[in-house]
């Protein structure tokens, strides 16, 4: 098993982002530090996107629920960072995270790093107003994951106005059945394309736009980031929004 894990680690560690904007760039640029992107993926794309956009905008928190090849953790502190670097607090080299396989019982709590990543999601989900599920089919082998998310989200009766959006190419009835515990009555939108979501229709302002639209019934126009542009152009477009955030904080 260790041999397989090492081979998987080597393969995924070699993956890199292309120079042009990817869906990962759009995701990290469209969210703020109050937001969390939780992923089950082992590949380094999300981490690399957060790194290359960090100088443009404050990026969201990332939670790697099944471990990740780009990320290491400090054995002495609850800190994570780029693998092959050292903890900025104690100088200890970051350790490789465990990669969890698609088996039924994953026992998340048995690994300190994985447990901390789940805590980040568990602590944020109860306060979330908008939940976007992208590229995750909730297979039956992941019942433990779905159960944990369900506990953090609360019952649909607790969640009276919250909005869930699901990006998947599956049949809508099938999706609604899978994600029933997360959907309050009719507060769900389903899309085939991530770019159609509320999240990417209102980058860095999705919560403000959602509160206006869903609670105050004031529809505000979309503000989509450009497509088909260079990464520099995409960053420059988002930088304008980040500057407003900075100015707002300093007043
Ligand atoms: Zn440390």
Distance 73 CA to ligand 1 centre (A): 8
Residue 3: which region, alpha, beta or left (left: phi > 0; alpha: psi -120 to 50)? alpha
Write down the number of H helices and E strands in the chain: 9, 8
- Residue 80 bridge partners (DSSP): 73
Angle between helices 231-250 and 23-30 (to 10 degrees): 10
Distance 193 CA to ligand 1 centre (A): 40
Q: Which helix (H) or strand (E) holds 61?
A: strand 61-64
Q: Which helix (H) or strand (E) holds 27?
A: helix 23-30
pLDDT at 131 over 80: yes
Please state, in angstroms and rounded to a whole number, the distance separating the CA atoms of residues 241 and 224: 12
Give the pLDDT confidence of 152-201 residue by residue, as tens digits.
777 766 766 678 888 888 888 887 788 777 776 667 888 899 999 999 99
Distance 78 CA to ligand 1 centre (A): 8
Q: How confident is the model at residue 79 (pLDDT cuts 50, 70, 90)?
A: very high
Distance 138 CA to ligand 1 centre (A): 34
- Give which of 64, 144, 145 is closest to 97, Cα–Cα: 64
All structural domains of the chain with their residue ranges: 2-194
Distance 61 CA to ligand 1 centre (A): 19
Range scoring the smallest mean pLDDT among 38-42, 85-89, 181-185: 181-185
pLDDT at 82 over 90: yes
């Amino acid at each position: 098993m260790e041999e397989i894990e090492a081979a998987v680690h080597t393969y995924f560690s070699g993956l890199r982002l292309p120079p042009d904007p990817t869906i990962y760039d759009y995701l990290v640029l469209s969210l703020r530090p109050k937001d969390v992107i939780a992923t089950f993926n082992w590949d380094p794309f999300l981490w690399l996107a957060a790194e290359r956009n960090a100088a443009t905008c404050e990026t969201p928190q990332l939670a790697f629920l099944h471990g990740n090849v780009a990320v290491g953790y400090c054995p002495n502190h609850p800190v994570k960072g780029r693998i092959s670097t050292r903890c900025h607090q104690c100088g200890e080299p970051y350790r490789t995270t465990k990669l969890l396989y698609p088996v039924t019982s994953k026992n998340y709590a048995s690994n300190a790093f994985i447990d901390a990543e789940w805590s980040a999601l568990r602590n944020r989900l109860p306060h979330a107003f908008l939940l976007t599920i992208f590229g995750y089919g909730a297979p039956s082998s992941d019942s433990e994951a779905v159960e944990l998310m369900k506990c953090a989200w609360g019952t649909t009766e607790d969640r009276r106005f919250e909005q869930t959006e699901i990006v998947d190419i599956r049949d809508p009835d099938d999706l609604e059945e899978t994600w029933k515990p997360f959907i309050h009555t009719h507060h769900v939108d389903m899309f085939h394309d991530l770019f159609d979501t509320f999240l990417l229709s209102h980058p860095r302002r999705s919560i403000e736009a959602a509160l206006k639209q869903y609670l105050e019934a004031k529809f505000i126009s979309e503000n989509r980031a450009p497509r088909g542009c260079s990464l520099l152009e995409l960053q420059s477009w988002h930088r304008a929004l980040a500057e407003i955030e900075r100015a707002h904080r300093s007043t």
